[in-house]
Amino acid sequence: TTTQYERSHRIDLPAGTQWQVRIRRLTPNANSSTISDIVNVLSMTEVIDAKLRYPNCALAAVEVDASQFQNIPTRSYRIWGRVVSIPSNYDPMTRSYSGIWDGTFKSGWTNNPAWAFFDMVTNDRFGLG
């Protein structure tokens, strides 16, 4: 072919610190003007199969078959953020308060920067506690 041709192989190797990969052609040159005997390797990818943990983090992963796409697929996410302590009389969707606050909190999502800041300074794990 005169265009790029992509081929994928997975080679499971035993644990080691460093590997050298050699690609060798097993057939002789065709000696024809209609057949190209030149092969170039443009890239290699190392895949590390490890069970990784990301505690207290949001994580999104997508696995696709590269042969089904010509480009990297576009992804988009609607992120609402953390669930934080908000006043019991607060409606996070309308950003309004109903009645008089009794001093108690409930857990809920909010995009109100005041309650996000309150969570940052009072959180035991990443705030001031």
Question: Which pTM value belongs to this model?
Answer: 0.49
Question: Given its phi and psi angles, is residue 111 left (phi above 0), alpha (psi -120 to 50 degrees) or beta?
Answer: alpha
Predicted local confidence at residue 42, as pLDDT:
84
Per-residue pLDDT of the chain (129 residues; tens, 9 = 90+): 677 778 888 888 887 778 888 888 888 888 888 887 888 888 888 888 888 888 888 888 888 888 888 888 888 888 877 899 999 999 999 999 999 999 999 999 998 999 999 999 998 888 887
pLDDT value at residue 94? 92
> Per the domain annotation, does 37 fall within a domain?
no
* pLDDT for res 1: 61
In a domain, 108, yes or no: yes
Q: Is residue 115 part of a domain?
A: yes
CA 96 to chain centre: 35
In DSSP notation, 59-109 reads: -------GGG-SSPPP--------EEEEETTEETTTTEE-S---S-EEEEE
Q: With CA atoms as reference, report the closest residue to 66 among 9, 2, 23, 3.
A: 9
Give the structural domain span for 117. Answer: 83-122
Please report whether residue 114 resides in a domain.
yes
102 in a structural domain: yes
Is there a domain that residue 91 lies in?
Answer: yes
Query: Is 94 a domain residue?
Result: yes
Whats the size of the chain, residue-wise? 129
Q: How many folded domains does the chain comprise?
A: 1
Q: Tell me the two tokens of residue 120.
A: 């940052």
CA distance 4 to 70: 12
Residue 103 backbone class (left: φ over 0; alpha: ψ -120 to 50; beta: rest): left
Decide if 100 is inside a domain.
Answer: yes
pLDDT reported for residue 44? 84
**Contact status, residue 85 vs residue 119, Cβ threshold 8 Å:** yes
Structure tokens at 40: 């170039």
